[in-house]
Homo-oligomer: A and B are copies of this chain.
Amino acid sequence: MAFSSDILRGHTETVILKILLEKDSYGYEITKRILDDSEGLIDIKDATIYTAFRRMELDALILTYWGDGIGGARRRYYSITDKGKNLYKDKLDEWLDIDRILNRLIRKQK
């Protein structure tokens, strides 16, 4: 992780939910996608993403099923639930607030 890992804390789930909103996906693909979309700055660790999946599944934010695994290692796919979609909406709103406020608190004012 190019950033201190604390920076992502609290946003990891939101980012995963956002990706699953588009289409079902799996751990490895999501990790690569985030690395790509973040210009290489956010490199979520295996353990982080898989423990996040466990947590989110327990919270009924996502559902899981095994892919057929043809042509490579087996994949466990995840799909967002209605509860997950609602949480994403809340987290998005929260982010818009945080973004505005942190910009005010952190940036130098003139």
Listed in ascending order, the chain A residues whose CB lies under 8 Å from chain B are 3-7, 9-11, 14-15, 18, 34, 37-39, 41-42, 91-92, 94-95, 97-99, 101-108
Contacts and interface: CB of A to CB of B under 8 A. Distances in A.
A110 to B, nearest CB: 13
Nearest to A94: B3
A106 B15 contact: yes
Contacts of A5: 10
Contacts of A101: 37-39, 41-42
Nearest to A12: B6
A79 B91 CA distance: 35
B14 A106 contact: yes
